[in-house]
Chain A
Amino acid sequence: MGKLKETILYSRLKSKDREAFIEMYDLYADKIYRFIFFKIGNEEEAKDLTSSVFLKAWNYININRLKDYDSLKSLVYKIARNAVIDYYRAASVQNNLPLDDELARRIPSESEESALESRAEIFSDFELVRKKMAELKDEYREIIILRFIEDLSIGEIAKVVDKSKGNVRVLTYRALKALKDLIEQDNKFKQ
């Protein structure tokens, strides 16, 4: 989505345009759901949180008078991230992710690339990655999701996680390396 389109959408949201809300929802629902799902690993909770994120975004855009708006995308992700933090805080379920089970169940059923899944070898790699993802520390996992799954730019990620671009670059590098190391270790262990 182009910057112009996004900006127009933001302005329409600001003027309480319900059509714009629907557009925003359709545009980001999947991404936000995915982001939250990978972070908390629970499908139902992810759905609830996703709904609350859009409601919060709507209220934030309409009520907030600060001029700190820069990108609707970053804003929505940031709200999602905060929602997850709040969720952790409330439930005190940090680092207790049932990510593996959920992913194992979801991915095969939803994947459009069934041909890919059918190939046992590749599928095992796929599983390996998501398993190791769950082992990563929260900070790294977040960066991996945003950068390599959601394809956010470094700048956008910096806004979402409230860090400098340089910081995000370093984190991205470390996160990817950590994930790779985990996978390598696993491979060595298997051998």
Chain B
Amino acid sequence: MQEKDLLKKLHSFKDVKPDAAWKKSSRDILLAQISSSTTGGADEAVLNRAGLFAILKNLYGDSVFARVTQPVGIAILIVCSIFGAGVASIKAARDTKPGDSLYIAKIISEKARVAVTFDEQKKIKLGLEIATNRAEEIKEVMKEEDDSSERQEKISQLAVDLNQEISVVKKRLDGQKKESETGKKKAEENKPDNELKKSEDDGAKKDVEADNTEVFRANLGKESKGMEISDKKKNVDDKKEDADKTGKEDVKDDNNKKSGSLPAPVPTSTEPVRQEEKKNSRIDLDKIVEEARKNYEKEDYDATLEILGEVNRAIDDDKKEKEESGGGQEPKNSKEEKATSTKD
């Protein structure tokens, strides 16, 4: 017998079938059995729920779902890594200064943040932050050893930027001021309290103000970093005393302040205002900003920085940490200038 014949014969076994009567009765019995386990209503509901999705899933199986979902997952990963890298580079760019390769990233991120901020208050804060960045950058650049024209260029460019930022903030503050007259009044009511507290604090730390009306002190939040500056530059002399509790700390050398080739920052006349504004910082923001501008014009970037920090603090206490890091740069300068005070 050939294989072909054999297969043919095997195939003919298909004719073996159960009798039709049994088939029908069996079907009915089975149907009755499965019906007892389900109700008609539930049938419909489940059927609707199963829907096309279930059919498709069964039709194409998990492999197709995997094939569809995997690229989606990968795409999400790619997007995440791109944005993640962006965020990481912005973070990395945070402490850059002009000339650094990532400096442009910092500027772009600043601009982007301004573009996506719509709340006026936040915009002001952001503006201050940017201005602070510029001031810090100026300081950084000033610290550089070389004395090239390039460096001068950088500084002057930064100065222009800083001026711009301050103007923007000022403008915004003016606009806001008009809008919130009532809010300001409330703030005004709180003013005496603030002042009282402040002076108490100061009194506890150092009995400066009480003793000497001519001495103005800028407390940067840390006692040791207190800065006391005279309002008359002429009075500064070389005599140095230990800082005592009267707060009459002398200037070691005013010229030490000049760490760069720029003209020495002129801390003088701005200081009284600074002191004042420290007290009122929570209230009269635009005044402070105006002060910052004055400082800027006098190229006293330290003071500008400090004031910007004050404003920032006033606007948002949560930002304290950042301001301290901003203020943390002050000691370097204050170490140099130690303290300027009037000679009595």
Contacts and interface: CB of A to CB of B under 8 A. Distances in A.
A176 B30 contact: no
Contacts of A169: none
Q: How large is the interface on B (under 10, 10 to 19, 20 to 34, 35 or more residues)?
A: 35 or more
A149 B31 contact: no
Q: Is the interface of A mostly helix, strand, loop or mixed?
A: helix
A180 B6 contact: yes
Interface in B38-52: 38, 42-43, 46-47, 49-50
B15 A55 contact: no
Interface string B170-184: 000000000000000
Interface string A24-46: 01100110011001100001001
B10 to A, nearest CB: 4
B38 A47 contact: no
B31 A11 contact: no
A17 B43 contact: yes
Contacts of A7: 55, 58-59
B50 A126 contact: no
A34 B13 CA distance: 9
Given A25-B30, A29-B23, A33-B18, A17 B47 contact: yes
A108 B38 CA distance: 42
A16 B47 contact: yes
A32 to B, nearest CB: 9
A77 interface: no
Given A16-B43, A180-B6, A107 B16 contact: yes
Nearest to A15: B50
A18 interface: yes
Nearest to B55: A11
A33 B22 CA distance: 11
A182 B26 CA distance: 37
B49 A176 contact: no
Please list the 4 inter-chain residue pairs (A to B) with the smallest Cβ-Cβ separation, ordered nearest first. Answer: A15-B50, A148-B10, A11-B55, A7-B59
Given A50-B18, A111-B15, 5 more contacts: A8-B55, A16-B47, A18-B34, A70-B61, A184-B1
30 contacts: A7-B58, A11-B55, A12-B50, A15-B47, A16-B42, A16-B47, A18-B31, A22-B27, A22-B31, A25-B27, A29-B23, A33-B18, A34-B14, A34-B17, A51-B29, A58-B34, A67-B62, A110-B17, A110-B19, A111-B15, A116-B12, A125-B5, A125-B9, A126-B9, A145-B13, A148-B10, A149-B10, A149-B14, A150-B14, A176-B3
